[in-house]
Amino acid sequence: MAIDSFLRRQIVGLSEAALHAADVIGILPTPLDQVARVAGVAEVINIGDLPDELVAARPKGLRRILGAYLYRAETAFVDLSQPLGRQRFIFGHETGHKIIPWHAQAFHLDDENRIFLDANEELEEEANLAASLLMFQGGRFHARALDYKTSLHAPISLAEQYGASLHASIRFYVEHHPEPVASSSPAACPAPTELCRSGSASNQAHSPSGSARSAPTCRSAAFRSARTRRSRSGLWRWPPSAAATWPVRR
């Protein structure tokens, strides 16, 4: 389900305001804990400590819970057993629920389908958009990516700097690139080992260490120029930035 253009502009504005309020513009990876704290999130707790009453309220058919937001306690729950890039996206997703004011009337438990695949529920898709905007700092990601040739090499090379998974980086790159581009399946990006000739790329990209590495060479068949996507004019023009870390509370 595509987000209404009016709501999209509102979420872009809310996410940008949250980044500015937290004074994290240009800091990479985005210190999501600082963004969340300024937005009013009081605590971030491992999903294993989710209150029994919330576990019992899980709708039938909901898969393993990866994240949740409890408004009455202003607490985000994150599955800290996930790789770092996925942890950060889950945290960004829950923070997205907090910064989007019309989400406060809903109850949020999030599984893999809602966070990492195509969200069927409008509020979940909106939270995913906010998570991406917070992690990639809007168009600042593309300001860097445009220094590279248009290919999967760009998001794969930048993923670690932004503390993001390859999946999230590739998807954001394709969906919001200022030029019309498309992947073979942007809605369900293949595993990194399917995209890159370097079989170790997946593990390297999720390593929290800042060790230098050369970017893997990507198969041109997985990425092609197409007239299927247009730029979101005016939304993706900001300057590039520097470096920091994201502490996780356990």
Supply the pLDDT for residue 111: 58
- Token pair 């998570």: residue: 131
- Lowest average pLDDT, out of 25-34, 99-108, 179-188, 214-223, goes to 214-223
Nearest residue to 12 (alpha-carbon basis) of 169, 163, 236, 164: 236
- Last residue of one domain, picked from the residues 136, 170, 204: 136
Is the same domain home to 111 and 174? Answer: no
- Among 97-101, 181-185, 238-242, whose mean pLDDT is lowest? 238-242
Query: Count of domains in the chain?
Result: 2
d(CA 220, CA 184): 10
Examine the domain organization and report whether 43 and 130 are in the same domain.
yes
pTM of the model: 0.71
Would you say residue 230 lies in a domain? no
Domain boundary among 89, 119, 136: 136
* Confidence at residue 117, expressed as pLDDT on a 0 to 100 scale: 54
pLDDT score recorded for residue 140: 96
Select from 93, 115, 136 the last residue of a domain.
136
Task: Give residue 201's domain range.
Answer: 140-225
User: Which of 155, 134, 135, 133 is closest to 144 using CA atoms?
Assistant: 155
Rounded to 5 degrees, φ, ψ at 223 are -140, 130
Element (H, E) at 52: helix 52-56
The alpha carbons of the chain give a radius of gyration, in whole angstroms, of 17
pLDDT of residue 106: 72
Q: pLDDT band for position 53 (50/70/90)?
A: confident
The CATH number that applies at residue 37 is 1.10.10.2910
- Shared domain for 52 and 116, answered yes or no, is yes
- Percent of the chain having pLDDT more than 90? 50
The answer to whether position 50 is within a domain reads yes
- Asked if the structure places residue 248 within a domain, the reply is no
Task: Assess if residue 250 is contained within a domain.
Answer: no
**Ranges 72-81, 93-102, 114-123, 192-201: which has the least confidence:** 192-201
What does pLDDT average to over the chain?
Answer: 75
Instruction: Summarize pLDDT for 120-174 with one digit per residue, the tens.
Output: 588 889 999 999 999 999 999 999 999 999 999 999 999 999 999 999 999 999 9
Using a CB cutoff of 8 Å and minimum separation of 24, what contacts does 107-114 make? 107/57, 108/68, 108/69, 109/54, 109/57, 109/58, 109/59, 109/62, 109/65, 109/67, 109/68, 110/65, 110/66, 110/67, 110/68, 111/62, 111/63, 111/64, 111/65, 111/66, 112/63, 112/64, 112/66, 113/63
- Tens-place pLDDT, residues 167-204: 999 999 999 888 877 655 444 443 333 333 233 333 33
Question: Which pLDDT does position 29 carry in this prediction?
Answer: 98
Instruction: List, as one string, the DSSP characters of 85-116.
Output: HHHHHHHHHHHHHHHSGGGTTS-EEEEHHHHT
Query: Could you tell me if 23 and 129 lie in one domain?
Result: yes
Q: 55 and 113 in one domain?
A: yes
